[in-house]
Amino acid sequence: MSLEVVTDVRCALAEGPRYYQGVLTWVDVEGCALHRFDGSHSVERFDAMVGCANPTVDRDLVVALADRIELLSSGEVLARFPHGSDLRANDGACDPTGRLWVGTTAVDHRPAAGALYRLDELGLTTILAGLTIANGIGWSPDGASMYYVDTPTHRIDVYPYDGGLGARATFAEVDGHPDGLTVDDEGFVWVAFYGGSRVERRAPDGSLDRIVPVPTENVTSCCFGGTTLYITSGRGDGRIYAYDAGVSGPQATPFRRTAPSDAEPTSAR
């Protein structure tokens, strides 16, 4: 169950790991930076805190900053968040058809100030309001369910998914502060716990399957690259860890500006 440190780089608040076509990316929220690692390390700096970054179908990156969503290569602004300077983007990911979902939170994490947005060809749409720390998000292997975390609720939610959300149900009540999550190819949900020094694997029925201890208190998120689970950490550490999970998970689904046609295959999980 040993974990390996991926790189000696330390972040103020590492978050949002994504693995795509051999490249691992993650963000440093408070360091206003995007990191990339493919055997060597590189970093991009921004003028604002960065909540998440996801690959695109044309090998670019779409980045959710405190006040806007933009393309890395050109700086083109795809959308601006309808909130003030006291809020910022937080975690986000692309659904099976490439739409970007991004949550927000108040800088002081005051209750009910955040929201969950979807960015697609129609623009930026508010899907859920009244969230506090909009966090982990992921989809079941068949794309029919979306898992979601609003950290202070101490639970993982699940929604029927068809591009929009059905009625919320509780997937699991948890002990501690759930943060980022990912879903493996067997449909099990892996959840990082901020302040909890661990990642939990939960079965499709919500029951606890495995605990992965992490040698730092503030574990923020995780993603798969083959059978390797990459784990990010926050204040007091800020490093990236690798864990041999013994099960595979999908690489990140890339962002696409327009939905695929019925004749065009969607990105594989």
Please state the rounded mean pLDDT for residues 104-108.
97
- Strand-pairing partners, residue 161, are 165
What are the structural domains of the chain?
4-249 (2.120.10.30)
Residue 265 CB coordination number (10 Å): 7
Convert the pLDDT of each residue in 201-244 to its tens digit.
Answer: 999 999 999 999 999 999 999 999 999 999 999 999 999 999 99
Q: pTM of the prediction? A: 0.95
| pLDDT at residue number 265 | 44
Split at pLDDT 50, 70, 90, the class of 87 is: very high
Structure-token match 């067997």, residue found:
186
| pLDDT at residue number 259 | 63
Residue 261 CB coordination number (10 Å): 7
Residue 261 has pLDDT above 60, yes or no: no
Residue 68 has pLDDT above 60, yes or no: yes
d(CA 106, CA 91): 13
Structure-token match 């927000």, residue found:
104
Amino acid, res. 140: S
Choose between 258 and 264: higher pLDDT.
258
According to the 3-state scheme, what is the secondary structure of 177-241?
A: EEEEEEECCCCCEEEEEECCCEEEEECCCCCEEEEEECCCCEEEEEEEEEEEEEEEECCCCCCEE
Convert the pLDDT of each residue in 111-122 to its tens digit.
Answer: 999 999 999 999
DSSP string, 144-167: SEEEEEEGGG-EEEEEEBSSSB--
